[in-house]
Structure 1
Amino acid sequence: MHIVDAEGCYLIDANGKRYLDFSSQLMCSNLGHKNQVVIDSIKKQAEDLAYAMPGYATNARAELSKLLLEVLPKGINKFFFTTSGTDANEAAFKIARMYTGKTKIISRYRSYHGSTSSSIAATGDPRRWPMEPRGKAQGVIFAPEAHCYKCPLKHSYPDCGLACADYIEHMIRNESDVAAVLVEPIVGTNGVIVPPKGYMQKLRKICDENGVLLIADEVMAGWGRTGEWFAMDLWGVTPDILTTAKGITSAYVPLGLCATSEKIGDFFQDNYFAHGHTYEAHPMTLLPAVATINEMKRLKLVERAKELEPFVHEKLVALKAKHPSIGEIRGHGLFWAVDLVKNQKTKEPFNTYADKISGKALLVDQIAGKCLAEGMTIQAWVSHFVIAPPLIVTKEEIEWGINLLDKWLHLADEQCMPTEEPASTSVTSDA
């Protein structure tokens, strides 16, 4: 599809056809398209100072740093600027290992952390598989995800006592060299998986008691998407290191951020920081981030995502009630997943990771293709859809998008296996 223009919540192809951008491209265009304030900031920075090496201070760097102190979780105040989320994670791993003197990173199976060497090694999903055994060589080990709907430990919350967190503690105590635990606070591409109440607080406590750092990958969940500036704010938990990208500039220019506590930052006042690159803190990427944050504040988009959450929740609950192919809906703010299953009781999906890797035609892709033909783009991954429109979206646009999905879900319903007894409505939205 040849895209030639975009404005607001819509993409426009070479034939002039408009498409509702129902997943903010790759869950990154939070401000929507063609925001003039951000566009003007790009022009201004190009005219003022197109480039300065990372060793120099710039006005854009100072201005952005001040704003970050206002919106990041309190206590996160040392910044290393990158050009993407995967670069931010690469920096986080190096920082964690240099700071602790340890090697191993615990990640989770339902995760994605980027495509470069260490980031893909820390990715739990099958995009890592072609790189094996490189991941093992890079000192990454994997824990079960906090996914109550399909618990990998076959437990039931809350009776389990958060066994998925306890398992991570068991790993730490049986590994000699753990530097950090890496989590997406709300898992992104792999299902918008919301952890149960108490999980993040317990994980913070486990890390503190065992001298392990907690890294929060907020590349996708950050920047107002969940109704808070950052998903970790939902639980009042501050990580030791926070990585982010995407919404920091609403993807108008490529920028990532690796931010740490002052304690970690101070360590490198007296110890060599063995990391860096030519485009770190590139001024052309920093001023658009300033504009993006200011626009989010002006338009009250974080508050807007929180205000729209009940509306989206209501519409998705109604959608699930109509379609036996929907196993669960889950999310926060304007960040939701619709999970498809053959059978609501057994929770068997229509497709698996193996199908994705093999190139088999996936049911979710067929449905997404029907939606595309009628003027909507939506991200489909293995067995679920990600609903994450720009934060400027209207209720009418949300309703139109969900109605279009409703229209084509019969393709899944027709392939459902009979359920012997009605399944209870399964919805995850309360952190």
Structure 2
Amino acid sequence: MVASQPVLDQAAAKAAVTNAEAVALDRANVFHSWSAQKSLNPLVIAGGSGSTVWDHDGNTYLDFSSQLVNTNIGHQHPKVIAAIAQQATTLATLAPSHASHIRGIAAAKVLSHAPANMDKVFFTNGGADANENAIRMARLHTGRDKVISRYRSYHGNTGAAIVATGDWRRIPNEYARGHVHVFGPYLYRSEFWAQTPEQETERALHHLRRVIQAEGPQSIAAILLETVPGTAGVLVPTPGYLEGVRALCDEYGIVMILDEVMAGFGRTGDWFALDAHNVTPDLITFAKGVNSGYVPVGGVIISGDIAATFDDRVFPGGLTYSGHPLAAASVVASIEAFEEEDIIGNAARIGRQHLEPGLTSLAEKHDVIGEVRGRGVFWALELVQDRTTRTPVTAEYMGRLKAELLRLGLLPFIADNRIHVVPPAVVTAEEVAVALAIYDQGLTAAGPAGR
């Protein structure tokens, strides 16, 4: 240990802490992601339970961000906490080359809710390296190089995953090869001059086909899509789009990868968001909701056809913590809780009976809401200065709105000109009612959108 570093003894760790002390310690030592460091003033979270979190100073918040849209099972679910603790007393770590009973159970549990063609699970540390390894599998399976993904997308912050990403974060990180981007369906801001969902689907698929043809089908290994783009705006695909992508993949021998990192495990009111569509991919990536981030974990669900590619051929990839026992135990306990407590059904009912009608009512009251879209506990309010022009509200407006929501006791997920309404899948109808009232008050207090 470096002598100049302060040592926190047990007594100090157990002493009462204030928000100011937590922030001071954080700012002195922690380098934050996606941020300019100098002006940061992070919100302090000291604990949580279910859909609620609190700080050291006694303030509580309804967590309608689910942190990074990952605490699907809520904070501190007792079954998951107990499973992690029990596993820690049995075997806290294990190299991935060994067989592990808990790892095998975790993989079987994941596969039990995946499409029937899925055969194996490759565990990773999170969603980014899940996408990274899915891309690697597709390239090795096909012998091709290029990967097509969408401009409105986010796939993680590793080499290929960040270049597959479509938003601004890709641009300073473009070190990986062979990536091509297309526009997907987004009827509210159609790139295709579409007036109906059917037109949007038809024209988006035509655009994709032409890009495949122009790039050379024989050079394209995979099409990588978030089933429902999350950070990009909860962009529920127009009817027939995913099925059309599947047909194009079949026609040209391309691997279809569906990124379910954010959309999977109850977020849309289904086990996987793809369950609402007549589509079966070749690879599925997951993380986040599979264990709500209690222990870092992700993975690739692999079809039998692609898994067979590596029966006699070495797969050149691996991670020290692949299928970590604590992570595997948390996956098993989470999925069992989903099954036993009907958490997936709760997410679907909350979306259908409470969030959809409640958010629609907000839009009727507040002209700043240009569109409401989503499923389950995965919704977005797109905010505009004018509903006719659909000009997005300013960053300054979004800052005012976020401050009001926090002041009123709700932790929001804000992205660009949108509020993403993404509570845990265990959220109750009563909590939704409180949150809807806070959104209403916050939108009123934020003032005119043009300011």
Q: TM-score, normalised by structure 1?
A: 0.91
For 1:42 and 1:97, the matched residues in 2 are separated by 35
1:278-427 → structure 2 map (5 Å cutoff): 278-310=320-352, 311-351=354-394, 361-410=395-444, 414-416=448-450
Q: Decide whether the 8 Å contact of 1:323 with 1:413 is kept in 2.
A: no
| Change beyond 3 A, Cα 1:250–1:160 | closer
| Counterpart residue type for residue 299 of structure 1 | E
1:113-152 → structure 2 map (5 Å cutoff): 113-132=155-174, 134=175, 137-152=176-191
CA displacement 1:219-244 (0-9 Å, x = unmatched): 00000111110001110311111001
| Counterpart residue type for residue 398 of structure 2 | V
For 1:345 and 1:73, the matched residues in 2 are separated by 42
For 2:112 and 2:399, the matched residues in 1 are separated by 40
Q: Decide whether the 8 Å contact of 2:130 with 2:285 is kept in 1.
A: yes
Q: Decide whether the 8 Å contact of 1:91 with 1:258 is kept in 2.
A: yes
Shift of 1:74: 2.1
Shift of 1:167: 1.1
For 1:412 and 1:33, the matched residues in 2 are separated by 29
- Note the residue ranges of structure 1 that are not aligned, 5 or more in a row: 352-360, 418-431
Structure 1 vs Structure 2: percent identity of aligned residues? 38
- Note the residue ranges of structure 2 that are not aligned, 5 or more in a row: 1-42
Q: Which residue of 2 aligns with 1:425?
A: none
After superposition, the CA RMSD in angstroms is: 1.4
Aligned residue for 1:174, secondary structure, equals helix
Q: Decide whether the 8 Å contact of 1:325 with 1:413 is kept in 2.
A: no
For 2:396 and 2:277, the matched residues in 1 are separated by 35
1:29-428 → structure 2 map (5 Å cutoff): 29-132=71-174, 134=175, 137-157=176-196, 158-160=198-200, 162-176=202-216, 177-310=219-352, 311-351=354-394, 361-410=395-444, 414-416=448-450
Aligned residue for 1:3, secondary structure, equals coil
Shift of 1:322: 0.6
For 1:82 and 1:335, the matched residues in 2 are separated by 24
CA displacement 1:22-53 (0-9 Å, x = unmatched): 12111100111111110111111111111111
For 2:362 and 2:132, the matched residues in 1 are separated by 40
For 2:449 and 2:167, the matched residues in 1 are separated by 26
For 2:103 and 2:46, the matched residues in 1 are separated by 32
**Higher gyration radius (CA):** 2
Q: Which residue of 1 aligns with 2:62?
A: 20
Shift of 1:160: 5.0
For 1:148 and 1:53, the matched residues in 2 are separated by 47
| Counterpart residue type for residue 207 of structure 2 | Y
CA displacement 1:61-82 (0-9 Å, x = unmatched): 1111221221112212211000
Shift of 1:366: 2.2
Shift of 1:416: 4.1
For 1:3 and 1:228, the matched residues in 2 are separated by 29
Q: TM-score, normalised by structure 2?
A: 0.87
For 1:7 and 1:101, the matched residues in 2 are separated by 48
| Counterpart residue type for residue 32 of structure 1 | G
CA displacement 1:178-227 (0-9 Å, x = unmatched): 11111111110110011111111111111111100111010000001111
Q: Which residue of 1 aligns with 2:19?
A: none
Aligned residue for 1:71, secondary structure, equals coil
Shift of 1:138: 1.4
| Counterpart residue type for residue 170 of structure 1 | R
For 2:96 and 2:201, the matched residues in 1 are separated by 47
Q: Decide whether the 8 Å contact of 1:185 with 1:221 is kept in 2.
A: yes
For 1:131 and 1:255, the matched residues in 2 are separated by 24
Q: Decide whether the 8 Å contact of 1:324 with 1:413 is kept in 2.
A: no
Q: Decide whether the 8 Å contact of 1:19 with 1:372 is kept in 2.
A: yes
For 1:222 and 1:229, the matched residues in 2 are separated by 6
| Counterpart residue type for residue 204 of structure 2 | C
CA displacement 1:357-411 (0-9 Å, x = unmatched): xxxx542232112111221101000100111111111111111111111112135
| Change beyond 3 A, Cα 1:412–1:110 | farther
For 2:382 and 2:243, the matched residues in 1 are separated by 26
| Change beyond 3 A, Cα 1:413–1:199 | farther
Q: Number of paired residues? A: 405
Q: Decide whether the 8 Å contact of 1:144 with 1:153 is kept in 2.
A: no
For 1:145 and 1:379, the matched residues in 2 are separated by 23
| Counterpart residue type for residue 150 of structure 2 | R
